Amino acid sequence: MQIRVFDRECEIDDSRIDADAATISERVREYEAGERTTFDLEIEYPDGFTGDVMRAIERVPAGETRTYGEVAAALETAPVAVGQACGRNPIPVVVPCHRIVGADSLTGYAGGLELKRRLLEHEGASIPDEP
């Protein structure tokens, strides 16, 4: 399904969320309005490494970031593998891969760096400078 967040379209795989489209959209609107920092939805994680990374990402509180290296260290893997798994996240925004940043820059985001920056600003997170 397509969701609109901060005037940007974002594709999420709603089949991985145990809620109807109206509920998901409502939670996104509440997030945008600052009424919630988590989505409180039951999620079906992919099997394997991508699911492990998504679970780690979901534990990063709103207003905070972690680097790809920090997540990689916690999972005993390489930062590039974490970045690739973030890119495979089928439910961005809901599982907040925007909170995972490079050591000295924002770096990639499926919804585009402008949306990543906007989401982090909305949450009050420190944003690394662009190279």
Domain range summary for the chain, segments of one domain joined by + = 2-123
In angstroms, the CA 117 to CA 58 distance is 18
| 20's tokens | 């109807």
Residue 109 has a pLDDT of 86
Please give the model's pTM, rounded to 2 decimal places: 0.93
- Looking at the domain 2-123, which fold is it? Arc Repressor Mutant, subunit A (1.10.10)
Grouped pLDDT means (10 residues each) for the chain, 131 residues: 93 96 96 94 96 97 96 98 95 95 88 92 85 50
Q: What b-and-e string marks burial along 104-118, b requiring 16 or more CB atoms within 10 Å of the CB?
A: eebbbbbbeeebbbb
Give catalytic residue positions.
97
Residue 87 has a pLDDT of 93
Residue 124 has a pLDDT of 94
